[in-house]
Structure 1
């Protein structure tokens, strides 16, 4: 059994696909345009302190098979993620807890609005969704400014899909940001995980591959898995809208932990950054050690971190057109997986699942 396969991109989706195929006897070559593997999830280290140059990444999933794969490949430490947001000068839980807000005289007006919310969620657009869930005041003070900074556009122009599963009101006392059964953080960072998944593949770094390059890297008829953005892969950079962030680190040598949680959201438009991140929280054995890094996350960088799912669906239509063009070429069977290639706002476990599923499809076609 086996064969040859080419993978474009060495992030989680590409690494998962490579892991699956090499275990099935395939000879796999992976091409990554950066000079390191890991894509946007790679962890870096400074004086023994972890930080993430592309923003906070917490592994969480309800898929036992995905958890078994990642935790069986490298060591994971238990970590339940907490997020706080600044509201009227105080730090409160995010997602917000109704009981926490109602118990404080500072939020009496918000508590009254929460008691008078509509029964159904308005799915018209991002803003309508959030107002129907949180009420106008809590939305206006905790989400609207953050969203305007993060996306560089009015919240009404974003799809409700951006809020779905990310904006909620709780009243259960659960302060974990995620509710998934399996949650953790790789002890040696995400780069270690991706490198381990790619161990049996041949990886070419610093190699940007587009559709026109396929004759140089793959024989005709052999499968290709694309995990890079399709506008880049098809040579049409700019066809899709993306949003990027940049992280500004601050090293505090005399401080063990600088924040009460890994992530603190800053929704006020008077601040240029959207949140501050202290990745050191993920590793309990480091908590008492002096020296920490806090990264402020600024939006608007020239990077493809987030697809812009607009309320009108224009970017989504462009993505479908690019997919149609990609499938229309006949030299190689091409499959797509991952956030960039599918232009979808997915979590890490879904990216891995997509990589595994397309790899399984490739292997099944080889058997035919």
Structure 2
């Protein structure tokens, strides 16, 4: 008997690896011609870059870090982000020590003094304004959000804002505070290759509800990591996603162009949301660099859209209920696509660890 995993992205690869390590027979079915999902690393003139967007590994989950570092070498990279604001390049998240030097500080100071004790969580905009005031919100957040999500910020939920938006006064300029941070030597395909090296994978075979009987044949359990609306042919409606496309510029003979790995561009006058220079992450020292400009609105499943009314989340739950109601062996879900959640890589791996554990417990 076999455990079948649908999808060979980071979630599916983690589940498959751990089940194989536990002595179970595993088979992975991947719709794309290659595995790895959005974890792509390419090369131009020997310089590594990420054609599907920047991925920065950071975690406070020791078990996740031990799993990853047991498979690949992680370079000691700590992620710093800057943003174009007030006609300057400033830290992200914003630092009060820098803001005090701005001509607009008097206005910002008044707005900060009048903030509520707790930001209102009516929607994404109300929470951000409650945290930092109107001026900082409009300069740092509003334009970026409208470009990135293609929505009025009032239509987005505030649920994930506390995890992503800060106003700092402690001088700490790395984006993440997690104790474990790094970037895989040679790029992310090294990690996916290590996870799947000993696992049978069928690539180029997209699985939908029409294939369910075949997927279940001879299977002890099914793990689904693909997008459920796509799996069910969107018969309840399509789940809204926001995608990005990257335009990559190879620049020979140049060391670095950006001041750090990522430079945010919140201005609505510029169509891209940020610029990425992976050479900061890879630690390469040879001449040449690649700067990638990220444009939102591509037809890809990068970010689920959490609307303030919760309609998209409710639709995702209906698809989960449909999956649970299908006949056949026990089935489990993991990963960003199947759970319709905006999560970081370490959270994806944690879901993979937990799912593998649940599968083993169910099968005894």
Q: TM-score range by the shorter chain?
A: over 0.9
Q: Which segment is superposed worse, 247-256 or 40-49? A: 40-49
Structure 2 unaligned segments of length 5 or more: list them.
none
Q: Which residue does the alignment assign to 2:204?
A: 206
Q: Name the residue aligned to 1:175.
A: 173
Q: Secondary structure at the match of 1:105?
A: coil
* d(CA) in 1 for partners of 2:313, 2:329: 25
Of 334, 343, 348, 1:346 maps to 343
Q: Name the counterpart of 1:43.
A: 41
Instruction: Give the number of equivalent residue pairs.
Output: 363
Asked if the contact 2:44/2:250 (under 8 Å) is kept, the reply is no
Q: 2:192 — aligned with what? A: 194
Q: Render the CA deviation track for 1:308-328: whole Å, top value 9, x for unaligned.
A: 000010000001111111100
Residues 225 and 334 of structure 2 are in contact (CA less than 8 Å); yes or no, is this contact kept in structure 1? Answer: yes
**Scaled by the length of structure 2, what TM-score is found?**
0.97
TM-superposed CA distance for 1:235, in Å, is 1.7
Offset at residue 330 of structure 1 (A): 1.6
Cα pair 1:33 1:207 within 8 Å, conserved: yes
Does the Cα contact within 8 Å between 2:245 and 2:295 map onto a contact in 1? yes
What is the TM-score normalised by the length of structure 1? 0.96
> Which stretch shifts more, 260-269 or 102-111?
102-111
User: Secondary structure of 1:135's match?
Assistant: helix
1:323 corresponds in structure 2 to 320
Shift in CA distance, 75/221, structure 1 to aligned 2, threshold 3 Å: closer
Report the counterpart of residue 280 of structure 1 in structure 2. 279
Which of 283, 294, 305 lines up with 2:302 in the alignment? 305
Deviation track 1:193-240 (CA, whole Å, cap 9, x = no partner) reads 011001111011111111221332342552111111110111217521
Structure 2 match to 1:80: 78
Range moving further from structure 2, 175-184 or 216-225: 216-225
Which residue of 111, 135, 141 maps to 1:137?
A: 135
Unaligned runs of 5+ in 1: none
Distance 1:233 1:332 in 2: 17
Contact kept? 2:220, 2:363, Cα under 8 Å: no
- The equivalent of 2:110 in structure 1 is 112
Deviations 1:9-37 (A, max 9, x none): 11111011011100111111111111221
Matches for 1:1-368 after TM superposition, within 5 Å? 3-219=1-217, 222-236=220-234, 239-284=238-283, 286-287=284-285, 289-367=286-364
Deviation at 1:46, TM superposition (A): 1.8
Displacement after TM superposition at 1:57 (Å): 0.6
> Which range moved further: 105-114 or 46-55?
105-114
1:162 CA displacement: 3.5
Structure 2 CA distance for partners of 1:220 and 1:239, relative to 1, 3 Å: farther
Q: CA deviation at 1:106?
A: 4.9
- Report SS of the residue matched to 2:159: helix
Deviates more, 1:313-322 or 1:358-367: 358-367
Alpha-carbon distance in structure 1 between the residues aligned to 2:117 and 2:184: 41
Name the Cα RMSD after superposition: 1.3
Give the drift of 1:342.
0.2
Q: Distance in 1 between matches of 2:131 and 2:138?
A: 12
CA distance in 2, matches of 1:187, 1:106: 43
1:183, distance to aligned residue in structure 2 (A): 0.4
